[in-house]
Structure 1
């Protein structure tokens, strides 16, 4: 389905992309701690809301 060159390019691209993302995240870690403080609670609230919607859907189905 894919040629050998396309597979090599995809794997190389993924490896370089992940390395770049890790480097960039580490570089901006101080800023993340300042500007995104408390964002974990937002994520947990969002996941709880999605879970509540799922429970309501299952409950109303029966």
Structure 2
């Protein structure tokens, strides 16, 4: 499906992308801690909402 050259390029690109994201995050970690303190609450609310939708779907299916 993919040639060997394409697979090698994809692997190298993925590794370079991950390394660049790690460096970018480490550079901005202080800013993230200051401005995004309550993010986990939003994530928990979102997961709870999706869970409730699933429960309602299962409840009304029966």
Equivalent residue, structure 2, for 1:50: 50
TM-score by length of 1: 0.97
SS at match of 1:53: helix
The two structures, once aligned, show a CA RMSD in angstroms of 0.5
Alignment: residue pair count: 62
Aligned to 2:37: 37
- Deviation at residue 47 of structure 1 after TM alignment: 0.4
- Asked whether 1:27 is paired with 2:27, we answer yes
TM-score scaled by length of structure 2 = 0.97
Secondary structure at 1:28 match in 2:
helix
List alignment gaps of at least 5 residues for structure 2.
none
Aligned to 2:5: 5
CA displacement 1:2-53 (0-9 Å, x = unmatched): 1111000000000000000111011100000011011100100010000000
